[in-house]
Amino acid sequence: MILKNILFAIVVGLAFLASCTGVKTSSIGLENEAFIQVIGNPDNFSGGVDVNIDDKVFFKAEVVAPNQETPKGKVYAISTGSHVISVSYNNKLLYQKNIFISNQETKRIEL
């Protein structure tokens, strides 16, 4: 009887261990987003510029100095596809363009 209980406990323990998976894999792709960066002389745009995307999204963006070797500075995530981008400073329109931007692409807006 004791041997039967021990054998039953071993079988249940092995079944429990066999049901546990040791390795789980996951696959993650790139986010479906693109980026814009506003380039210009930061001294001319103190406090940043106003960015308008499709008359739906409004935000203030930091203007970064152009640097040809290593692009540094703030980038802003937007959805991919076609957008009308407007940039203004002190209520004066500086840039307006209809752009198409792909996944993980960074569009540089030069003022």
pLDDT in tens, 67-91: 755 556 788 999 999 999 999 999 9
pTM, two decimal places: 0.67
Q: Which residue has the higher pLDDT, 13 or 56?
A: 56
> What's the token pair of residue 1?
């009887």
Other beta carbons within 10 Å of 108 = 13
Instruction: Look at residue 1 in the predicted model and tell me its pLDDT.
Output: 72
Instruction: Look at residue 28 in the predicted model and tell me its pLDDT.
Output: 66
On the question of pLDDT at 14 being above 60, the answer is yes
Instruction: Look at residue 20 in the predicted model and tell me its pLDDT.
Output: 62
Per-residue burial over 9-20, b = 16 or more CB atoms within 10 Å of its CB, e = otherwise: eeeeeeeeeeee
